[in-house]
Amino acid sequence: MAIRANPHLIDELEKYGAQDVVKCYHCGNCTATCPFSGEVFVFPRKSMRYLQLGLDVRLQGNLEPWLCYYCGECSEECPRGAEPGETMMSMRRWLTARYDFTGLSGLFYRSAKAELLAIVLVALLTGLGLTLFGLSQGSIDVYDGPGAFLPASSIHIFDWVMAGVLVLLLGINCVRMWWYTMGSDKEVRIPPLEYLKQLFLVPWHFLTQRRYSQCDRKSPWAIHLVLMLSYLTMLVLIMFFLHRVQHGPAIDWRAHAFGYAAAAGLVVTTIYALQGRLRKTRPHYQHSHETDWIFLALLLMVSLTGIAQHILHRGGWETAANVLYVVHMMGVVPMLVLEVPFSKWSHMAYRPLGMYFSTLREKAVLAAEDPEKSRPAAAAQTA
Amino acid sequence: MNDECRIGVYICNCGTNIAKVIDAGLVRDRVADLPGVACARTYEYMCSNPGQEMIAQDIREHKLDRIVVAACSPRMHELTFGNALEDAGLNRHMLEMANIREQCSWVHDDGARATAKAADLTHAAIRRVARHEPLEKQEAPYTPATMVLGGGIAGLTVAVELADAGQHVHLIERESRLGGNVGRVDLTAPYLDSARDILAEKIILAESNPRIDVQLRSTLTDLQGFVGNFQATVTHQDGAAQQLDVGSVVVCTGYREFDASRIERLGYGKHLDVITSFELEQRLRAGKLETADGRVPRYVSIVHCVGSRHAKYHTYCSRVCCMTALKYGHEIKSALPDAMVTDLYVDMLSFGKGGEDLYRRTSELKTMFLMYEKEDYPVVRAAEKGDDCGLLVQVEEKLSGETIDVPADLVVLMVGMQARSDGADVARTVGISQDRHGWFIESHPKLAPVSTATEGVFIAGCCQSPKDIPDSVAQARASAAMVLGHIARGKVVVDARYAQVDADLCSGCRMCNELCPYTAIGYDPEEGRSDIQSALCKACGTCVAACPSGAITARHFTDEQILEQIEGVLAWRSSQP
Amino acid sequence: MLPNVLSALEFERLTNASGPTGGRIVTRSTQRNRRTKEEEWVFDTDAPAPRSVAIIHCVGSRDQNHNPYCSRVCCMYSLKFAHLVKEKLPDATCYQFYIDMRAFGKGYEEFFERIKDEGVFVVRGRSARVEARPDGMVIRGEDIVHDRIMEFPVDMVLLAAGLEPARGAHRLASVLGIRPDDDGWFTELNYNTDPTGTNRGAIHVAGVCQGPKDIPDTVAQASAVAARVLGSVISGSVRIDRESVSSAEAAANAARLAGTSPREEPWPSEPTHT
| Helix axes of B469-489 and B153-164: crossing angle, nearest 10 degrees | 40
- The set of residues, in sequence order, having a beta carbon less than 8 Å from that of A268 and lying 6+ positions away, is A226
Question: Does residue C11 contact residue C20 with C-beta atoms inside 8 Å?
Answer: no
Mean pLDDT of chain B: 94
> Is A380 within 8 Å of chain B by CB?
no
Q: Of B391, B416, B441, which residue constitutes the final position of a domain?
A: B416
Q: Of C126, C161, C196, which residue constitutes the final position of a domain?
A: C161
Q: Of B464, B492, B520, which residue constitutes the final position of a domain?
A: B492
Q: Kindly list the distances between the CA atom of residue A246 and the CA atoms of A150, A157, A225, A302, B308, in Å, as whole numbers in the listed order.
A: 10, 14, 26, 16, 79
* Cross-strand partners of B244: B232
Cα B195 from Cα B517, distance rounded (Å): 43
Asked if residue B394 is part of any domain, the answer here is yes
Cα C246 from Cα A339, distance rounded (Å): 69
Strand order of the β-sheet with C136-143 is C129-133, C136-143, C148-154
Q: What is the pLDDT of residue C260?
A: 38
Is C141 within 8 Å of A28 when comparing Cβ atoms?
A: yes
Residues C195 and C133 in one domain: no
Question: Does residue B473 contact residue C192 with C-beta atoms inside 8 Å?
Answer: yes
- pLDDT-based confidence at residue A369 (cuts at 50, 70, 90): confident
Closest partner residue to C220 (CB to CB) among B208, B401, B478 is: B478
Q: What is the pLDDT of residue C239?
A: 67
Is C121 within 8 Å of A38 when comparing Cβ atoms?
A: no
> Is A200 within 8 Å of chain B by CB?
no
Question: Does residue C208 contact residue C218 with C-beta atoms inside 8 Å?
Answer: yes
Interface with B, mutate which of C208, C223, C240, C257 (most B CBs under 10 A): C223
Q: Highest-confidence range of A216-225, B75-84, B153-162, C199-208, by mean pLDDT?
A: B153-162
The residues on B that touch A, with CB distances below 8 Å, are 299, 340, 342, 348, 359-360, 363-364, 366-371, 373, 394, 397-400, 402-407
Domain count, chain B: 4
Half-sphere exposure of residue A43, counting CA atoms within 13 Å on the CB side?
Answer: 24
Which residues, numbered 17 to 56 in chain B, qualify as contacts with chain C under a Cβ-Cβ cut-off of 8 Å? 19, 44
What letter does residue B574 receive in the DSSP assignment? Answer: T
Q: What is the pLDDT of residue B462?
A: 97
Q: Kindly list the distances between the CA atom of residue B280 and the CA atoms of A124, A228, B77, B296, B329, in Å, as whole numbers in the listed order.
A: 60, 59, 49, 14, 12
Residue C265 has pLDDT above 50, yes or no: no
Count Cβ atoms below 10 Å from residue B78 Cβ, excluding itself. Answer: 16
Interface with A, mutate which of B343, B374, B402, B405 (most A CBs under 10 A): B402
> Is C23 within 8 Å of chain B by CB?
yes
pLDDT tens per residue, range B339-379: 999 999 999 999 999 999 999 999 999 999 999 999 999 99
Q: Kindly list the distances between the CA atom of residue B457 and the CA atoms of A34, A267, B43, B454, C251, in Å, as whole numbers in the listed order.
A: 58, 83, 36, 6, 39
Asked if residue C267 is part of any domain, the answer here is no
The rounded Cα A208 to chain-centroid distance in angstroms is 15
Asked if residue B187 is part of any domain, the answer here is yes
Residues C12 and C148 in one domain: yes
Asked if residue C173 is part of any domain, the answer here is yes
Interface with B, mutate which of C25, C112, C193 (most B CBs under 10 A): C193
Chain A environment of B367 (Cβ under 8 Å): 22
Is A4 within 8 Å of B404 when comparing Cβ atoms?
A: yes
Identify which of B78, B81, B75, B69 has the alpha carbon closest to the alpha carbon of residue B9. Answer: B69
Half-sphere exposure of residue B225, counting CA atoms within 13 Å on the CB side?
Answer: 23
Asked if residue B577 is part of any domain, the answer here is no
Residues C216 and C83 in one domain: no
Q: What is the pLDDT of residue B507?
A: 93
Q: Shortest Cα distance from B409 to chain A (angstroms)?
A: 14
Question: Does residue B32 contact residue B40 with C-beta atoms inside 8 Å?
Answer: yes
Residues B247 and B361 in one domain: no
Chain A environment of C58 (Cβ under 8 Å): 27, 79
Average pLDDT over residues A40-47: 92
Residue B277 has pLDDT above 50, yes or no: yes
* ipTM, interface predicted TM-score of the complex: 0.86
Q: Shortest Cα distance from C135 to chain B (angstroms)?
A: 33
> Is B353 within 8 Å of chain C by CB?
yes
Chain B environment of A26 (Cβ under 8 Å): 371, 399
Chains in touch with B (3+ beta-carbon pairs under 8 Å) read A, C
Chain B environment of C124 (Cβ under 8 Å): 398
Residues B315 and B352 in one domain: yes
Residues C19 and C144 in one domain: yes
Q: Kindly list the distances between the CA atom of residue A209 and the CA atoms of A170, A205, B365, C243, in Å, as whole numbers in the listed order.
A: 20, 5, 39, 65
Residue C244 has pLDDT above 70, yes or no: no
Residues B324 and B374 in one domain: yes
Q: What is the pLDDT of residue A184?
A: 87
Question: Does residue B379 contact residue B410 with C-beta atoms inside 8 Å?
Answer: no
CATH code, domain with B202: 3.50.50.60
> Is C116 within 8 Å of chain A by CB?
yes
Identify which of B306, B333, B67 has the alpha carbon closest to the alpha carbon of residue B192. Answer: B333
Is B404 within 8 Å of A3 when comparing Cβ atoms?
A: yes
pLDDT tens per residue, range B413-472: 999 999 999 999 999 999 999 999 999 999 988 989 999 989 999 999 999 999 999 999
Choices 3.50.50.60, 1.10.10.10, 3.30.420.40, 1.10.1060.10: CATH for A9-99 = 1.10.1060.10
Residues C177 and C125 in one domain: no
Asked if residue C156 is part of any domain, the answer here is yes
Question: Does residue B465 contact residue B316 with C-beta atoms inside 8 Å?
Answer: yes
Asked if residue C272 is part of any domain, the answer here is no
Closest partner residue to C109 (CB to CB) among B201, B316, B445 is: B316
Residue C124 amino acid letter: R
Q: What is the pLDDT of residue B488?
A: 92
Identify which of B194, B193, B249 has the alpha carbon closest to the alpha carbon of residue B221. Answer: B249
Is B402 within 8 Å of A3 when comparing Cβ atoms?
A: yes
Closest partner residue to A7 (CB to CB) among B359, B368, B394 is: B368
Residues B300 and B222 in one domain: no
Residue A374 has pLDDT above 50, yes or no: no
Cα B367 from Cα B300, distance rounded (Å): 10
Q: What is the pLDDT of residue B3?
A: 59
Residues C157 and C39 in one domain: yes
Residue A158 has pLDDT above 70, yes or no: yes
Q: In percent, how much of chain B has pLDDT > 70?
A: 99
Chain B environment of A49 (Cβ under 8 Å): 399-400
Average pLDDT over residues A67-80: 91
Count Cβ atoms below 10 Å from residue B497 Cβ, excluding itself. Answer: 16
> Is B376 within 8 Å of chain C by CB?
no
Residue C133 dihedral angles phi and psi, to the nearest 5°: -115, 165
Question: Does residue B39 contact residue B9 with C-beta atoms inside 8 Å?
Answer: yes
Residues C51 and C70 in one domain: yes
Q: What is the pLDDT of residue B576?
A: 66
Q: Kindly list the distances between the CA atom of residue C98 and the CA atoms of A29, B19, C78, C162, in Å, as whole numbers in the listed order.
A: 11, 34, 10, 13
Could you write out the DSSP letters of every residue in A84-100? HHHHHHHHHHHHHHHH-
> Is A28 within 8 Å of chain B by CB?
no
Asked if residue B518 is part of any domain, the answer here is yes
Going by their DSSP bridges, the two strands B241-246 and B402-408 should be labelled as unpaired
Q: What is the pLDDT of residue B298?
A: 95
Q: Of B416, B443, B477, which residue constitutes the final position of a domain?
A: B416
Which residues, numbered 48 to 107 in chain B, qualify as contacts with chain C under a Cβ-Cβ cut-off of 8 Å? none
Going by their DSSP bridges, the two strands B193-194 and B187-188 should be labelled as antiparallel
- Structural domain that includes position C61: 5-161
Rg of chain C over all Cα atoms, to the nearest angstrom: 25
Identify which of B72, B70, B76, B15 has the alpha carbon closest to the alpha carbon of residue B444. Answer: B76
Is C68 within 8 Å of B356 when comparing Cβ atoms?
A: yes
CATH code, domain with C124: 3.50.50.60
Residues C22 and C123 in one domain: yes
pLDDT tens per residue, range B1-12: 455 899 999 999
Mean pLDDT of chain A: 89
Look at C263 and A158; give whichever has higher pLDDT. A158
Residue C245 has pLDDT above 70, yes or no: no
Q: Shortest Cα distance from A208 to chain C (angstroms)?
A: 28
Is C261 within 8 Å of B475 when comparing Cβ atoms?
A: no
Is C144 within 8 Å of A381 when comparing Cβ atoms?
A: no
- pLDDT-based confidence at residue C237 (cuts at 50, 70, 90): confident
Residues B132 and B273 in one domain: no
pLDDT tens per residue, range C38-74: 888 989 889 999 999 999 999 999 999 999 999 999 9
Identify which of A1, B164, B316 has the alpha carbon closest to the alpha carbon of residue C232. Answer: B164
Element (H, E) at B523: strand B521-524
Q: What is the pLDDT of residue C220?
A: 93
Residue C7 dihedral angles phi and psi, to the nearest 5°: -80, 165
Q: What is the pLDDT of residue A381?
A: 40
Chain B environment of C226 (Cβ under 8 Å): 478, 481, 484-485
Residues B74 and B206 in one domain: no
Which residues, numbered 45 to 64 in chain C, qualify as contacts with chain A under a Cβ-Cβ cut-off of 8 Å? 58, 62-64
Length of chain A, please?
383
Q: In percent, how much of chain B has pLDDT > 90?
A: 91
Asked if residue B141 is part of any domain, the answer here is no
Residues B356 and B477 in one domain: no
Residues C144 and C18 in one domain: yes
- Structural domain that includes position B299: 258-416
Pinpoint the alpha helices (H) of B337-405.
355-364
CATH code, domain with B535: 3.30.70.20
Residue A240 has pLDDT above 80, yes or no: yes
Q: Shortest Cα distance from B565 to chain A (angstroms)?
A: 50
Look at A147 and B234; give whichever has higher pLDDT. B234
Residues C13 and C76 in one domain: yes
Going by their DSSP bridges, the two strands B146-149 and B95-99 should be labelled as unpaired
Extract long-range pairs of B101-106: CB within 8 Å, 24+ residues apart: B101/B12, B101/B14, B101/B17, B101/B18, B101/B71, B101/B72, B101/B73, B102/B72, B102/B73, B103/B73, B104/B18, B104/B21, B104/B22, B105/B14, B105/B17, B105/B18, B105/B20, B105/B21, B105/B22, B106/B17
Q: Shortest Cα distance from A113 to chain B (angstroms)?
A: 27
Chain B environment of C62 (Cβ under 8 Å): 356
Chain C environment of A30 (Cβ under 8 Å): 128
Residue C85 dihedral angles phi and psi, to the nearest 5°: -60, -45
Cα A225 from Cα A208, distance rounded (Å): 7
Closest partner residue to B315 (CB to CB) among C110, C196, C224 is: C110
Residues B304 and B390 in one domain: yes
| Helix axes of A253-279 and A219-246: crossing angle, nearest 10 degrees | 140
Residue B316 has pLDDT above 70, yes or no: yes
Interface with A, mutate which of C75, C117, C143, C157 (most A CBs under 10 A): C143
Cα A112 from Cα A119, distance rounded (Å): 10
Is A27 within 8 Å of C122 when comparing Cβ atoms?
A: no
Pinpoint the alpha helices (H) of C134-242.
169-176, 215-235
Residue A282 has pLDDT above 90, yes or no: no
Is A23 within 8 Å of B363 when comparing Cβ atoms?
A: yes
Q: In percent, how much of chain A has pLDDT > 70?
A: 96
Q: Exposed, middle or buried: residue B538 (CB in 10 Å: 0-12, 13-18, 19+)?
A: middle
Q: Of C161, C185, C202, which residue constitutes the final position of a domain?
A: C161
Is C262 within 8 Å of B447 when comparing Cβ atoms?
A: no
Residues C191 and C63 in one domain: no
> Is A381 within 8 Å of chain B by CB?
no
Q: What is the pLDDT of residue A380?
A: 39
Half-sphere exposure of residue A228, counting CA atoms within 13 Å on the CB side?
Answer: 18
Look at A248 and A383; give whichever has higher pLDDT. A248
Look at C238 and A221; give whichever has higher pLDDT. A221
Cα B40 from Cα C12, distance rounded (Å): 32
The rounded Cα C79 to chain-centroid distance in angstroms is 14
Residues C218 and C147 in one domain: no
Question: Does residue B471 contact residue C220 with C-beta atoms inside 8 Å?
Answer: yes
Residues B116 and B228 in one domain: no
Is A23 within 8 Å of B394 when comparing Cβ atoms?
A: no
Cα B478 from Cα B473, distance rounded (Å): 8
As annotated, the residues of chain A forming the CATH 1.10.1060.10 domain(s) are 9-99
| Local structure of B556: helix, strand or coil | coil
Which residues, numbered 291 to 320 in chain B, qualify as contacts with chain C under a Cβ-Cβ cut-off of 8 Å? 309, 315-317, 319
Q: Exposed, middle or buried: residue B397 (CB in 10 Å: 0-12, 13-18, 19+)?
A: buried
Could you write out the DSSP letters of every residue in B461-514? GGGTS---HHHHHHHHHHHHHHHHHHHHH-EEEEPS--EEE-TTT-----HHHH
| Local structure of A23: helix, strand or coil | helix
| Local structure of B231: helix, strand or coil | strand
Q: Of C133, C161, C189, which residue constitutes the final position of a domain?
A: C161
Domain count, chain C: 2
Chains in touch with A (3+ beta-carbon pairs under 8 Å) read B, C
